[in-house]
């Protein structure tokens, strides 16, 4: 028994055939003959030739790119000539207001009306297209009269610029649908690709999940409205309510390499197919989600991660000082933890004009040798005579103008070590926990961890340790202002182990007493039952695991969020940065307390589009969206520096916008793919 949750491929051309038609009206059968599938929806490429007053309906299997078709089939160019002047040719079809060719896509969708499904078509351009309002109207009207009149046709603006252009044109003349209206509430959305065989465990409420949590194992596929951040490592996730791809649980799914998707009608499928508590094969990719019930319990072997062994570089525990963040560099992660070291490196980047932030754009993206010309345009370098040095300087200048780094201090691992050895009770508790881990006595781990956490939170901090904190951050001692205390471990942001959401941060700290309590809470989170179990599963030794602490002044935020310098639902998309935001702090985006607004920003050709409005009733203003475009480009430029050897390796950046409209980056880490 199989439940395919999105459409499969259709209409693929036989090798060597080309069914492209020119000048014909479009019927639904012809659409299906020529179409392919993208993001789960059948689609068809169209080219309008204004000079010939006709259009071309491309056979998707034979012509994957509009530009190649126009150049070779209509204009008679060869591909070598096209590649030699590709950027100029693209400008002639995507940005020239007097262009001859209008390039677009028709996609097929359905809506439920009075219990019946009704098909409708959506017309859109590529995301980089800068058609003005009247040209968009002409494009729509040209296509409308050539499409079967029984099929409703809507125009979808491809970017924020087109939305603004269309605002002056009536919807009676150009019926339209916005991206977030079309996709933001769809029932099924792939989040993290993967395949798993396991037992489906469907929980309708958080209470049902809590009652069964202790019995969940590595072969289970957990389905519920919103998975908790402390979900154990299992075979797969299914969310039955909307979430963002940047949630902690999806970051965990990505880091663990397990399938994850949104399937809002899962309850109906479970009841129809009798899937709950049965063995299923679950598969998620960019265009398809499937659940297939198995007739018998499969003979499963323990997953590869059961044998996974992650080795940490031994931390340096010499008597390192408490340091201001701006004095740290990336190499200090073995004394202060990854988060603190990355924030120190960010300070260095922002203070420097010599750091090269352009290397992502220097990598060949066939057929281009590099994307430096696109970057120069994004940075406002209008002259084509710029040098590589000028481009690097302008990129560094742009980033320093766009964002700031938080002020604060970092507590080294050595302070935690001095605290732990100061108490015989703590040493005894650590010894018992180590013994249980060596014996794999998982049945007593939780109680030992909770007892040790209690001891850490209530053991007095040695006076020498307290004095070091006060001397390095004296304003914290007397200030009644709010502080933020964040974790910075050496056991996070590792290949195969992201630890997103595993360790504690405390964001409501006032004065010395609360500060010491918050520091101990962060230290204690290193031995929480969940963090200990997750590290134990991948062979990270407790002996090698330490916690640094970041102490920062609290900065009030009007807007906060997370961006990743990739498109997490389209892994081959090198253009876009995915950005989420909500009022207030970034934590609301990742912890699931609100459903954030979601945007994609093109950091090559420029432009952005709204993916979902989340819990909000309306989108951000054009001015704020333009600022977010600058923030997204900043993230892409920082990727060149922080990703080290592989400039395509994306970053996960937490950010906030202050009451004055400035951006602060409060965390930079690798994004688990």
Show me where the domains of the chain are located.
Answer: 2-177, 188-296, 351-404+556-670, 412-553
Four-CA torsion 23, 95, 621, 402, nearest 10 degrees: 150
- List phi, psi (to 5°) of 380: 85, 15
- What is d(CA 143, CA 106) in angstroms, rounded to the nearest whole number? 10
- How far is CA 192 from each of CA 26, 184, 227, 284, 672, rounded to the nearest angstrom? 35, 17, 14, 7, 11
Which of 5-19, 137-151, 238-252 bottoms out in mean pLDDT, i.e. has the lowest?
5-19
Residue 59: strand, helix, or coil: coil
Distance (Å, whole) CA 131 – CA 458: 64
pLDDT at 34: 96
Q: Taking residues 1-7, what's their average pLDDT?
A: 42
pLDDT band at 572 (very low <50, low <70, confident <90, very high): confident
> What is d(CA 34, CA 245) in angstroms, rounded to the nearest whole number?
32
> Pick from 429, 425, 426: which is nearest to 416 by CA?
426
Asked if 19 contacts 34 with a C-beta cutoff of 8 angstroms, the reply is yes
DSSP assignments along 497-537, one per residue: B--TTTS--EEEEEHHHHHHHHHHHHHHHTT-HHHHHHHHH
* CA-based radius of gyration for the chain: 27
| 12: pLDDT strictly greater than 50 | no
Task: Name the CATH architecture for the domain at 412-553.
Answer: 2-Layer Sandwich (3.30)
Cα separation, 412 vs 416, whole angstroms: 7
Strands (E), 474-626: 482-489, 506-510, 547-553, 557-564, 576-582, 597-602, 608-612
592 pLDDT tier (thresholds 50, 70, 90): low
Orientation of helix 622-642 relative to helix 388-402, angle to 10°: 120
**CATH placement of domain 351-404+556-670:** 3.30.470.20
Closest CA to 118 of 130, 110, 126, 128: 110
Sign of CA dihedral 478, 479, 482, 488: negative
pTM: 0.89
Q: Tens digit of pLDDT for each residue in 297-313?
A: 898 887 776 667 788 88
* C-alpha closest to that of 226 among 213, 241, 211, 216: 241
Q: What is the mean pLDDT of residues 96-120?
A: 90
**How many residues in the chain?**
673
Residue range 410-427: average pLDDT?
Answer: 96
Query: Angle, nearest 10°, between helix axes 424-438 and 529-537?
Result: 40
Residue with tokens 């070291």: 341
Show the DSSP H helices in 72-132 as ranges: 79-84, 86-94
Q: How far apart are CA 609 and CA 623, in angstroms?
A: 14
Residues 6+ apart with CB under 8 A from 491: 312, 497, 499, 526, 531, 535, 540, 544, 545, 546
Q: Give the mean model confidence (pLDDT) for residues 142-160.
A: 97
Q: Is the pLDDT of residue 4 over 80?
A: no
Give one word for 277, left, alpha or beta, with left for phi > 0 and alpha for psi -120 to 50.
left
Closest CA to 399 of 433, 367, 360: 360
pLDDT in tens, 350-383: 999 889 999 999 999 988 899 999 999 999 997 7
Looking at 22-124, list the stretches that DSSP marks H as alpha helix, in order from N- to C-terminal side: 28-34, 66-69, 79-84, 86-94
Q: Which CATH class is domain 188-296?
A: alpha beta
- The mean-pLDDT minimum among 216-225, 250-259, 518-527 falls in 250-259
pLDDT, tens digit (0-9, with 9 covering 90-100), for 22-39: 999 999 999 999 999 877
User: Could you count the other beta carbons within 10 Å of the beta carbon of residue 149?
Assistant: 9
DSSP single-letter state for residue 132: -
Q: How many other C-beta atoms lie within 10 A of the C-beta of residue 230?
A: 16
């Amino acid at each position: 028994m199989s439940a395919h949750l999105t459409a499969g491929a259709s209409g693929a051309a036989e090798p060597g055939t080309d069914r492209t038609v020119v000048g014909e009206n479009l019927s639904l059968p012809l659409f299906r003959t020529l179409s392919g599938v993208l993001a789960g929806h059948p689609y068809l490429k169209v080219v309008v030739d204004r000079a010939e007053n006709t259009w071309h309906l491309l056979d998707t299997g034979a012509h994957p790119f509009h530009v190649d078709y126009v150049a070779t089939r209509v204009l008679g160019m060869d591909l070598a000539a096209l590649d030699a002047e590709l950027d100029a040719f693209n400008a002639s079809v995507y940005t020239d207001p007097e262009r001859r060719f209008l390039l677009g896509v028709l996609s097929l969708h359905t809506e439920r009306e009075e219990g019946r499904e009704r098909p409708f078509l959506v017309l859109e351009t590529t995301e980089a297209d800068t058609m003005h309002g009247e040209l968009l109207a002409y494009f729509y009207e040209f296509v409308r009269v050539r499409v079967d009149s029984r099929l409703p046709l809507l125009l979808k603006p491809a970017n924020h610029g087109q939305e603004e252009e269309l605002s002056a044109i009536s919807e009676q003349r150009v019926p339209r649908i916005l991206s977030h209206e079309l996709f933001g509430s769809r029932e099924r959305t792939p989040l993290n690709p993967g395949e798993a065989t396991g037992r489906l465990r469907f929980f309708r409420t958080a209470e049902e999940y809590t009652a069964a949590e202790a019995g969940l194992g590595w072969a289970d596929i957990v389905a519920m409205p919103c998975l908790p951040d402390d979900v154990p490592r299992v075979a797969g996730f299914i969310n039955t309510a909307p979430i963002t791809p940047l949630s902690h649980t999806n970051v965990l799914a990505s880091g663990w390499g397990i399938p994850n998707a949104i399937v809002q009608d899962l309850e109906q499928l479970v009841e129809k197919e009798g899937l709950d508590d049965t063995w299923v094969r679950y598969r998620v990719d960019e265009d398809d989600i499937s659940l297939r019930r198995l007739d018998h319990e499969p003979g499963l072997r323990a997953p590869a991660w059961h044998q996974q062994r992650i080795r940490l570089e031994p931390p340096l525990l010499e008597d390192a000082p408490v340091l201001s963040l701006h004095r740290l560099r990336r190499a200090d992660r073995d004394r202060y933890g990854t988060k603190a070291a990355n924030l120190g490196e960010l300070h260095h980047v922002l203070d420097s004009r010599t750091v090269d932030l352009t290397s992502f754009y220097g990598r060949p993206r066939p057929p281009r040798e590099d994307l430096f010309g696109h970057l120069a345009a994004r940075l406002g370098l209008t002259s084509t005579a710029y040098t590589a040095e000028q481009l690097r300087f302008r990129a560094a200048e742009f980033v320093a103008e766009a964002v700031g780094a938080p002020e604060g201090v970092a507590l080294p691992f050595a302070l935690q070590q001095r605290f732990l050895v100061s108490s015989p009770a703590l040493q005894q508790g650590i010894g018992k926990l180590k013994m249980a881990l060596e014996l794999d006595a998982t049945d007593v781990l939780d109680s030992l961890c909770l007892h040790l956490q209690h001891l850490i939170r209530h053991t007095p901090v040695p006076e020498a340790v307290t004095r070091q904190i006060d001397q390095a951050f004296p304003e914290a001692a007397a200030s009644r202002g709010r502080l933020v205390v964040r974790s910075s471990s050496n056991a996070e942001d590792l290949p195969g182990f992201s630890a997103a959401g595993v360790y504690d941060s405390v964001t409501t700290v006032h004065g010395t007493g609360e500060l010491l309590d918050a520091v101990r809470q962060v230290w204690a989170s290193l031995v929480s039952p969940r963090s200990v179990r997750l590290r134990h599963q991948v062979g990270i030794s407790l002996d090698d695991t330490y916690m640094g602490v970041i102490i920062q002044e609290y900065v009030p935020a009007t807007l906060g969020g997370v961006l990743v310098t990739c498109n997490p639902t389209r892994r081959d998309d090198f253009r876009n940065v995915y950005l989420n935001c909500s009022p207030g702090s970034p934590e609301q985006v990742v912890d699931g307390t609100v459903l954030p607004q979601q945007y994609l920003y093109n950091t090559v050709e420029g432009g952005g589009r709204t993916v979902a409005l989340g819990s909000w009733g309306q989108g951000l203003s054009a001015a704020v969206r333009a600022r977010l475009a600058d923030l997204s480009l900043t993230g892409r430029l920082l990727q060149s520096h922080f990703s080290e050897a592989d400039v395509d390796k994306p970053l996960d950046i937490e950010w906030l916008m202050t009451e004055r409209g400035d951006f602060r980056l409060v965390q930079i880490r690798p994004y688990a793919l």
